[in-house]
Amino acid sequence: MFRQLFGRQVFGRTRTATDWPGVLTRYPDLIDVPAQARAITLLEGNTPLIPAVTLSEELGCKLWIKYEGLNPTGSFKDRGMTAAVTQAVYSGAETIMCASTGNTAASAAAYAARAGIRCVVIVPEGKVAQGKLAGALAYGAEVVSISGSFDDGLTLVREATEKLPIALVNSINPYRLEGQTSAAYEIVDVLGSAPDWLCLPVGNAGNISAYWMGFKRYWEAGRTERLPRLLGTQAEGAAPLVKGYVIKQPETVATAIRIGSPARGEQALAAADESGGFITAVSDAAILSAWRQLATQEGIFVEPASAAGLAGLLASVEQNRIDVKGQRVVCVVTGHGLKDPQIVLDQAEPPATLEPTMAALEDYLA
């Protein structure tokens, strides 16, 4: 009964600027899910587009950070998951399943809990950041760890969901991309038109594909005069789209993009190309450097993979592959820093320990 109240019906009235429910109700004409479906939502989306003051000065451009870590489960995956789970429940599914490097698992788990259905997530053993695993477990998902990679997990999930009455909610599910187009609309809504460049990390390549779909839809609807160029970034140890072949054993500190055979690879390459942009690769050191800069210079704490977009931008500018002087640039940071606390503890100096006296504190401060 209570659950019924949260259908899209309750929000089926004229909306005002201060009344933003989840992405499905915010962009009903642009996100293709059945109109009669009850929206399974946690009021995802509507994340801030934060001006990056210091980095803008350094680059001589106007740089904004789209902070996707502020979605309900701490990553952009919620935008797609609301659509995929809404559709799955509408079509009668009682179980959803995904392979995940962590964030998809946490997101699927939350939306399944919201819908009151079963959620099974397959994760690569020992390669999932703590905050993500904790999320999936907290929301009550069944977590299955496999002694293989994300790519092995996805193969398994494809097979299982073909054979059994289970809905697949990885980004090969078209509804995931539908929901994720919302981020492009939001950026245009704030800036008034698309930026010159959109920079983001690329793993399974669903997100970059969804952004391109979104910008093109807004353009076709006359809601932006221009389209952005896309700059996608992979980690050097997991860069199949840059190298042009499948990476059997992808390795990177950026676990969210530790993927050797991206399901949406072709689509992502076509999107980057069509936009006049490209997909590049950067080292883990460059990712961690950008990650540190975001936190210490802009106050934006993200998980390492999330900083890959900025790392790719900085590297491409330095290599003179692109010139962003005077341009408007958006970097999408995809997940919250608290997802991966271990990396901070590994990288940072341990805290100072002092006697609780003023003398000791003065000594320390000097």
Ligand X SMILES: *Cc1c(COP(=O)(O)O)cnc(C)c1O
Q: Kindly list the residues in this chain that would bind ligand X in the complex (CB under 6 A).
A: 75, 77, 103, 171, 201-207, 256-257, 303, 305-306, 334-335
- Residue 175, both tokens: 């509804």
Integer Cα distance of 158 and 173 in angstroms: 10
Nearer to ligand X, 103 or 275 (CB): 103
* Smallest distance, ligand X to C-beta of residue 333, A: 8
* Smallest distance, ligand X to C-beta of residue 335, A: 3
Nearer to ligand X, 99 or 120 (CB): 99
Nearer to ligand X, 21 or 228 (CB): 228
- Residue 90, both tokens: 């509408």
Q: Of 110, 98, 171, give the one whose Cα is nearest residue 137.
A: 110
Nearer to ligand X, 8 or 83 (CB): 83
Nearer to ligand X, 203 or 277 (CB): 203
* Smallest distance, ligand X to C-beta of residue 55, A: 19
Integer Cα distance of 300 and 357 in angstroms: 33
- The number of residues in the chain equals 366
Nearer to ligand X, 201 or 228 (CB): 201
Query: H/E element holding 230?
Result: strand 229-235
139 touches 109 (CB < 8 A) = yes
Alpha-carbon distance values, 296 to 155, 248, 253, 288 (Å): 39, 35, 19, 12
Integer Cα distance of 236 and 312 in angstroms: 11
* Cβ count within 10 A of residue 160: 16
Q: Report the DSSP beta bridge partners of residue 78.
A: none
* Smallest distance, ligand X to C-beta of residue 150, A: 9
Integer Cα distance of 363 and 361 in angstroms: 5
Nearer to ligand X, 11 or 197 (CB): 197
Computed over its alpha carbons, how large is the radius of gyration of the chain? 20
Nearer to ligand X, 61 or 256 (CB): 256
Integer Cα distance of 70 and 86 in angstroms: 21
* Cβ count within 10 A of residue 35: 9
* Cβ count within 10 A of residue 79: 29
Per DSSP, helices labelled H in 91-232 are: 103-115, 130-138, 150-163, 174-180, 182-191, 206-220
Nearer to ligand X, 204 or 293 (CB): 204
Query: H/E element holding 86?
Result: helix 77-90
